[in-house]
C-alpha cells in the first residue's frame, strides 16, 4: 500500500530498504528556513533496534498492513518460544532472535502482542511494564538514605536490574520493558 510522508502516523508500519519498521514517534517539523519535513523514530521489527529518519512531505512510502493479536507465552524449546492464541488455543513458534533483549522480561503466562504479515510473525511487543519477583539482592544498609542510591537485583527471569535500597528478596517489582529500568514496588 503506497502513500506519502503526509500519511505517516505513530504506530504505522512501513517498509524501508527491504526491512519493516514501526513508527514509535512522529513529529512534523516546520523550521524557520527551508521546507517542512517529517521526523520519525523507527523500531526495526526484525532486530528491535531504534533509528531515526527524516522524510520530505512528498516522499513516497510503502505502508505494510500488519495484524496484531494478543498471545500468551507458554515455554521455550530450543531456538523457539511458543505462544498460544487464547481464543482457539493454537500454538505459534517464534524464533528467540525475533524478540531480542525483550526475552529477559518474558515469563510464562505473560501476554504479548504478536505482529503478523501474511500469517508470518514479524515481531513481538511486550506490555510497557511487567511484574517480576526479585530472587536475589544484597540487603540494604540501615541508615543509608542517600537519594537515588541503587543496588543490583536478579529477577526471576535471570535478568539483573538496578533497584532502590529498600527492595528485598521476594519483593515483586514493576520493570519498564523498553528501558529495563525499575519502575516501582508492587504491593500484593
- Check which CATH number belongs to the domain holding 159 and give it: 2.40.50.140
Supply the pLDDT for residue 93: 94
Residue 176 pLDDT greater than 80, yes or no: yes
Specify whether 77 is located in the same domain as 59: no
Specify whether 115 is located in the same domain as 82: yes
* Mean pLDDT within 24-44: 88
Residue 145 pLDDT greater than 70, yes or no: no
103: left (phi over 0), alpha (psi -120 to 50) or beta: alpha
Domain boundary pick from 96, 125, 154? 125
Specify whether 108 is located in the same domain as 134: no
Specify whether 7 is located in the same domain as 44: yes
Supply the pLDDT for residue 58: 85
Which is more confidently placed, 128 or 143?
128
Supply the pLDDT for residue 148: 77
Supply the pLDDT for residue 144: 61
pTM confidence score = 0.70
Residue 88 pLDDT greater than 80, yes or no: yes
Which is more confidently placed, 83 or 34?
83
Rounded distance between C-alpha atoms, residue 143 and residue 15, angstroms: 55
Instruction: Give the model's confidence band at 40: pLDDT under 50 very low, under 70 low, under 90 confident, else very high.
Output: very high
Rounded distance between C-alpha atoms, residue 174 and residue 165, angstroms: 15
168 lies in which domain range? 129-186
**What is the Rg, in whole angstroms, of the alpha carbon atoms belonging to the chain?**
20
Range with lowest mean pLDDT among 21-35, 71-85, 138-152:
138-152
Domain boundary pick from 98, 125, 152? 125
Specify whether 103 is located in the same domain as 140: no
In total, how many domains does the chain have? 3
- Pull the grid cell for residue 45: 521489527
Specify whether 72 is located in the same domain as 53: no
Specify whether 27 is located in the same domain as 43: yes
Amino acid at each position: 500500500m503506497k502513500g506519502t510522508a503526509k500519511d505517516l502516523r505513530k504506530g504505522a508500519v512501513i517498509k524501508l530498504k527491504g526491512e519493516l519498521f514501526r513508527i514509535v514517534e512522529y513529529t512534523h517539523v516546520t523550521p524557520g528556513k527551508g521546507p517542512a519535513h517529517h521526523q520519525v523514530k523507527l523500531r526495526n521489527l526484525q532486530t528491535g533496534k531504534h533509528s531515526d529518519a527524516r522524510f520530505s512531505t512528498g516522499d513516497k512510502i510503502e505502508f505494510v498492513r500488519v495484524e496484531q493479536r494478543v498471545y500468551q507465552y507458554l515455554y521455550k524449546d530450543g531456538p523457539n518460544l511458543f505462544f498460544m492464541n487464547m481464543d482457539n488455543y493454537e500454538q505459534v513458534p517464534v524464533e528467540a532472535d525475533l524478540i531480542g533483549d525483550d526475552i529477559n522480561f518474558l515469563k510464562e503466562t505473560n501476554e504479548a502482542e504478536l505482529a503478523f504479515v501474511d500469517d508470518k510473525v514479524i515481531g513481538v511487543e511486550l506490555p510497557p511494564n511487567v511484574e517480576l519477583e526479585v530472587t536475589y539482592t544484597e540487603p540494604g544498609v540501615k541508615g543509608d538514605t542517600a537519594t537515588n542510591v541503587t543496588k543490583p537485583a536478579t529477577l526471576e527471569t535471570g535478568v539483573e536490574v538496578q533497584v532502590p535500597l529498600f527492595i528485598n528478596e521476594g519483593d515483586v517489582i514493576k520493570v519498564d520493558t523498553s528501558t529495563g529500568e525499575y519502575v516501582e514496588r508492587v504491593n500484593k
